[in-house]
C-alpha cells in the first residue's frame, strides 16, 4: 500500500479537487477511465511539471463505501470512508419510507452510524409521519427534526456530527444542500461559485463535494448526482440491514428462511403480533425482490 498524501474533496465530471496533507488545495486529474475517485478518498498524488493540476496515481484502501445503481444499472460508488450517514426526509416532497429504509440498510452494511433528519420542521408534520418516525426511534435510530429555514436544531446537528465525516443523502428537494450550507458556514455556496469559474469552462458541474464543518468534521453533498437509493446484492444483505428482522430471524424454523412464504417464520409472526412494523416488513420484502433482480443481472 503506497503512502497517501491527499484527500479528495470534490469530484467534477473529469477533474477532482484535493486537500493535500500539507493543507494546500489543488485541482487534480487521474489517468485512464478505470480509476475513479470519490469524496473522502485518500489518494497518492504528485505535481505535473508545468501544470497547475496534480495527478492522482493511486487510491488508498477504502474503509467503507456507499454504492448504488446508476442510471444504466451499473454500480456506482457515491463516497468512501464515511463515519455517519445522514438520511434526510421532509414533509415535502412526500416521504418515501422505502428510500429511507434502504439507506438505513446501507448504513448497517457499510457500516456507518445512521442519523435520520426530518427537515422542514417549520411546516406541519404530514399525516402518518409521526407514527412512521416513531418506528425508527423505537429501533434505536437517532432522529432530529430540523429546519434549514429557521435554523431549528442545526447547531444540534452540527454538534452530533462533531469531527466525523458525514455523507448526506435523501430524496431530492428535502433540503440537503440548504442544511449543509448552514452547517458548513456557507462554504457550499462559495465552493460552487468557484467551481463555475474553473478553467475547464462552463460544463464543470460538481458531482460531489466535501466541506469542513465548524466542529472540525466534514460533510458531503452530492448535488450533481441523481438520487438512486441503494440496491443490495442478496437476501442476506437485506436481512442484515433490517436490524429487527435480523434479530427475529433467529426464531425461524429454517436457518435460510427468507421470511416470505416459509412455515414457522418468526418474522412473519412478529409482524402479525405487531412486534415488527408492517411497513418495515413491506420494505424488507420489496428490498429482497430488488436484490433478486440485481443478482440475476450481475450473474
Ligand X SMILES: Nc1nc2c(ncn2[C@@H]2O[C@H](COP(=O)(O)OP(=O)(O)O)[C@@H](O)[C@H]2O)c(=O)[nH]1
Chain contacts with Zn ion (rule: CB under 5 A):
252, 257, 259, 265, 267
Q: Please choose, out of 58-66, 75-83, 215-223, 285-293, the segment that lies near Mg ion by the rule CB under 5 A.
A: 215-223
Contact string 170-199 vs ligand X (x = CB under 6 A): --xxxxxxx---------------------
Angle, helices 176-183/187-195, rounded to nearest 10 degrees? 110
Interface with ligand X (CB under 6 A), residue total 14
Least distance from Zn ion to the Cβ atom of residue 264, Å: 8
Least distance from ligand X to the Cβ atom of residue 244, Å: 28
Phi, psi for 198 (deg, rounded to 5): -65, 160
Least distance from ligand X to the Cβ atom of residue 151, Å: 9
Between 123 and 297, CB nearer to ligand X: 123
Phi, psi for 193 (deg, rounded to 5): -65, -40
Between 177 and 283, CB nearer to ligand X: 177
Of the candidates 245, 225, 226, the residue with the CA atom closest to the CA atom of residue 287: 245
Locate cell 464515511: which residue? 82
DSSP letter at 95 equals P
Q: Is 122 in the site for ligand X (CB under 6 A)?
A: yes
Binder to ligand X among 149, 205, 234, 295 (CB under 6 A)? 149
Of the candidates 86, 103, 79, 112, the residue with the CA atom closest to the CA atom of residue 8: 79
Grid cell listed for 7: 484527500
**Closest-CB residue for ligand X?**
175
Between 119 and 192, CB nearer to ligand X: 119
Locate cell 415535502: which residue? 92
Q: Is 208 in the site for Mg ion (CB under 5 A)?
A: no
Select the binding partner of residue 165 from Mg ion, Zn ion, ligand X, none (C-beta < 5 to 8 A, by kind): none
DSSP letter at 276 equals S
Grid cell listed for 158: 452540527
Give first-to-last CA distance, the chain, whole Å.
31
Q: Is 119 in the site for ligand X (CB under 6 A)?
A: yes
Least distance from Zn ion to the Cβ atom of residue 254, Å: 7
Locate cell 439507506: which residue? 103
Locate cell 438505513: which residue? 104
Q: Is 259 in the site for ligand X (CB under 6 A)?
A: no
Instruction: List interacting residues with ligand X (CB under 6 A).
Output: 119-120, 122-123, 147-149, 172-178
Amino acid at each position: 500500500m503506497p503512502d497517501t498524501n491527499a484527500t479528495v474533496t470534490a469530484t467534477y465530471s473529469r477533474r477532482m479537487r484535493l486537500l493535500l496533507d500539507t493543507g494546500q488545495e489543488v485541482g487534480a486529474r487521474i489517468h485512464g477511465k478505470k480509476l475513479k475517485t470519490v469524496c473522502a478518498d485518500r489518494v497518492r498524488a504528485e505535481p505535473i511539471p508545468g501544470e497547475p493540476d496534480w495527478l492522482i496515481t493511486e487510491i488508498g484502501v477504502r474503509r467503507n463505501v456507499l454504492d448504488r445503481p446508476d442510471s444504466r444499472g451499473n454500480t456506482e460508488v457515491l463516497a468512501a470512508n464515511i463515519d455517519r450517514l445522514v438520511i434526510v426526509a421532509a414533509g415535502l416532497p412526500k416521504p418515501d419510507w422505502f428510500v429511507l429504509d434502504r439507506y438505513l440498510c446501507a448504513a448497517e452494511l457499510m457500516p456507518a452510524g445512521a442519523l435520520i433528519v426530518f427537515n422542514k420542521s417549520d411546516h406541519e408534520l404530514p399525516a402518518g409521519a409521526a407514527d412512521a418516525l416513531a418506528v425508527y426511534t423505537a429501533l434505536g435510530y437517532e432522529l432530529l427534526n430540523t429546519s434549514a429555514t429557521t435554523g431549528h436544531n442545526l447547531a444540534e446537528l452540527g454538534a452530533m456530527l462533531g469531527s466525523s465525516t458525514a455523507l448526506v443523502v435523501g430524496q431530492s428537494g428535502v433540503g440537503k444542500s440548504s442544511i449543509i450550507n448552514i452547517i458548513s458556514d456557507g462554504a457550499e455556496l462559495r465552493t460552487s461559485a468557484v467551481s463555475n469559474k474553473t478553467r475547464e469552462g462552463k460544463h464543470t458541474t460538481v458531482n460531489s463535494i466535501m466541506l469542513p464543518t465548524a466542529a472540525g468534521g466534514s460533510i458531503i453533498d452530492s448535488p450533481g448526482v441523481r438520487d438512486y437509493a441503494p440496491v443490495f446484492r442478496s437476501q442476506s444483505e437485506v436481512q442484515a440491514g433490517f436490524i429487527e428482522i435480523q434479530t427475529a430471524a433467529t426464531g425461524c424454523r429454517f436457518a435460510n428462511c427468507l421470511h416470505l412464504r416459509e412455515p414457522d417464520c418468526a418474522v412473519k409472526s412478529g409482524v402479525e403480533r405487531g412486534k415488527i412494523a408492517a411497513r418495515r416488513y413491506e420494505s424488507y420484502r420489496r428490498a429482497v425482490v430488488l436484490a433478486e433482480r440485481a443478482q440475476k443481472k450481475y450473474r
